[in-house]
Amino acid sequence: MPTETGAGVSALSALPGGVLPHTLYGEGPHKVIALHGWFADRSAYDPVVRDLDPGAFQYAVADLRGYGEARGVAGSYTTAEGAADVLALADRLGWERFSLIGHSMGGSVIQRVLAAAPHRVRRLVGISPVPASGLPLSPEQWELFSGAAASPENRRIILDFTTGGRRPAAWLDRMVRRSVRCSDERAFRAWLDSWAGEAFHDRIEGSPVEALAIVGALDPALSAAVQRATWMRWFPRGVLVELPSCGHYAMDEAPLDLIRVVEDFLRADAGDGEGTA
């Protein structure tokens, strides 16, 4: 069972000067910061935290601005700002070098961290990561996604589509309720402009970092084909793993498979065993 420390950190009314709300799991030497996606706060990782390896890793699972305990925090709600907040969190924790995990939108943020401070990143794990080139959307898709801030029904359509139309209605409803509850509507809408519309892949292309992309076979939006055209082109040491019975939300849909793939990948980095400054 992971050791929980720093739970419910909430000394945040504004940033910079504060620290992203986060929970620490484990006490291991390999330090890892994990970020959620567009539809969730740090509770997105609740299905996996009990089965993480607390002796090998210490995870800081954080809320981005506009979400969870940072729901009322003002900001521009961009991936660049998110990356700066992550680095401030690492500084507050005393972590000079660390690995990064990011789901979907959070996958874009962790690539921004790499662009800003490549010397600090040990390994990169994107779970259905949004590419650093953004995500082009058709006019119809843009209407659906941009309207999701104010429309729970739009959120449900997106959830159903990105899980291949295979998940039960009660699960979709629960995911929508969580999404609405944990996010600020204005921040939710603003984040879309950044992760979908901004391109910075020229700043990470050719990076020597070991970078794992995990996708679900049931997700048509951020598929293996998308990652082969983006992630795998930009990272010469990239690895792509497809989970066969999974859509966009691997933490909920395939938690044990996800943990095994992620921790095997992180454990393969002998590194310097150093997690603190």
Nearest alpha carbon to residue 109 among 139, 138, 66, 161: 66
pLDDT of 18: 74
Distance CA 133, CA 199 (A): 4
Considering the entire predicted model, what is its pTM? 0.92
Neighbours of 276 (CB within 10 A): 11
- Per-residue pLDDT of the chain in tens (277 residues, 90 and over written 9): 333 433 333 333 465 447 999 999 999 999 999 999 999 999 999 999 999 999 999 999 999 999 999 998 999 999 999 999 999 999 999 999 999 999 999 999 999 999 999 999 999 999 999 999 999 999 999 999 999 999 999 999 999 999 999 999 999 999 999 999 999 999 999 999 999 999 999 999 999 999 999 999 999 999 999 999 999 999 999 999 999 999 999 999 999 999 999 999 999 987 654 444 3
Distance CA 77, CA 91 (A): 21
Q: Give the E-state strand segments of 88-237 in sequence order.
A: 98-103, 121-127, 210-216
pLDDT of 2: 37
Helix 105-116 to helix 185-197 angle (10° resolution) is 60
Contact 88, 116 (CB under 8 A): no
Q: Tokens representing 130?
A: 């949004």
pLDDT of 141: 97
Residues in the chain: 277
Contact 21, 85 (CB under 8 A): no
Provide the pairing of β-strand 57-62 with 22-25.
Answer: antiparallel
Q: Give the E-state strand segments of the chain in sequence order.
A: 4-5, 22-25, 30-35, 57-62, 98-103, 121-127, 210-216, 238-243
Distance CA 184, CA 20 (A): 16
